[in-house]
Amino acid sequence: MNRKVVTLLVCLALVFAAGCRRKKYENPIGKDTEQPDKVLFDKAIKDIERGRYEVARLTLNTLMNTYDTSEYLAKAKLAIADSWFREGGSNGMAQAEAEYKDFILFYPTMEEAAESQEKICMIHYKQMEKPDRDNNHALRAEDECRQLLVQFPNSKFAPRVQQMLRNIQEAMAEGEYRVGAFYHKKGSFPAASNRLQNMVDHFPLYSGADEALWELGDSYTKMGARFRDKAGAAYSKIVRDYPLSPRVDDATKQLQQMELPVPEADPVAVARMKYEQENRVKVGMMSRATGMLKRGPDASKAAKSGAPAMAALRPTIPASVPVPAGAAGGGVTDVSIATGVSGATSDLDTKPDARQNQPAEGAAATGSAPAGGAAAGAAPAAPAGTAAAPEQAPLPSNRQPVPAKKGKEKKAKAPKPAKASSKDKK
């Protein structure tokens, strides 16, 4: 047998043996005593290490119910959650999350509370799908990671969870970008600009933010001249905030064609992009080949620095939707009632009982107008010689006009005359 083949088989055997070895459970209490609660706790820990999780939970529940004032009470409750976490599976992960949340509720000041919250983040992080699939676990993982950073900001688990949050938001931003790119390719530019604008504003650390900004500027450009400023802002953001992007030269040319000022590169952005390029994880050939078999998203391009977004992504209104009058400043919150208008000629203003006097049928049918030849409340006519105001360009729509079919239309044939029957001929 070839020596290379033998070496490969030996390596695979070592990897398999290392994977089958169970991870040792760290005993949080190292005192060697003969107390009954300590004996029960040690027995449960050994059962967890050997994979006998059900037996370990029965022992720990016996400890908690029998010795309710034991110093191992909190550790026993945490060990129950860890046993479910190690057991795995959808049922085990759900039970582990519930136990960890109970531990944080009963022991919020202990150091293990932050560890429990980190385990909850990991539960949903391990169940995340790829960006083009269901993102329910990604949303849950994002919420739980933000909860740890808010509730335990000085914990030793905070830096690890912060990086985990960057990985989660990288996958979420990738999913939003794919939707926006689909609308852009389809020609639905209002929908594409809405998705891409919301994504780049909320996830500035996304590795493909420069390409998203380029498609955003192109969408605004094709939506018409009224969105010229928004297109220029997108191109300017590429030059200023992503100076090492390959789209910088194209964005600069677009700004020059639009006769808009070209901003200077932000030195902080230059340093950040250099750091990301130097610390980016390199994906090997084997990882690329087996990437399709993995369940979770690829986090190799996720940012390694910068503060992640601490708010949830909310849907926004497209820029092509007109804003109602008075809604630009947050809407109208005060309501006033006027009793009358000076110089009003309506019967409702001059006669209190006008509603009781119903008009005659003839007047209602003919629609007679009051004296003066104009209907009450009608808009005044425009003076002679004045031109009507030019209409604004129509707002862009996601529905593209269907092109007319080429070719000559077939003329309708005239109906043939009915044939005479044999009786008519006679």
Domain extent listing, the chain: 31-107
pLDDT single digits (tens) 164-207:
999 999 999 999 999 999 999 999 999 999 999 999 999 999 99
pLDDT single digits (tens) 299-351:
889 999 999 999 999 999 988 888 765 555 555 555 566 655 555 566 656 66
Residue 353: what pLDDT? Answer: 58
Using alpha carbons, list the distances in angstroms from residue 57 to 69, 79, 224, 402.
Answer: 19, 8, 66, 66
Task: Using alpha carbons, select from 43, 82, 46 the residue that is nearest to residue 63.
Answer: 43
Q: What does the mean pLDDT of the chain come to?
A: 80
Helices (H), 110-247: 111-126, 136-151, 158-186, 189-202, 209-222, 228-241
Highest-pLDDT range among 25-34, 136-145, 391-400: 136-145
Q: How many other CB atoms are there within 10 angstroms of residue 35's CB atom?
A: 13
Confidence of residue 418 (pLDDT cuts 50, 70, 90): low
Residue 161's contacts (CB-CB under 8 Å, 6 or more residues apart) are: 118, 121, 145, 148, 149
> What distance lies between CA 186 and its chain's CA centroid?
21
pLDDT at residue 385 greater than cutoff 50? no
**Tokens 């006033």 label which residue?**
336
Residue 399: what pLDDT? Answer: 75
Which residue type occupies 198? Answer: N
Range with the poorest average pLDDT among 151-160, 316-325, 360-369: 360-369
- Reported pTM: 0.72
CA distance 405 to 399: 18
Phi, psi of 204 (to 5 degrees): -70, -15
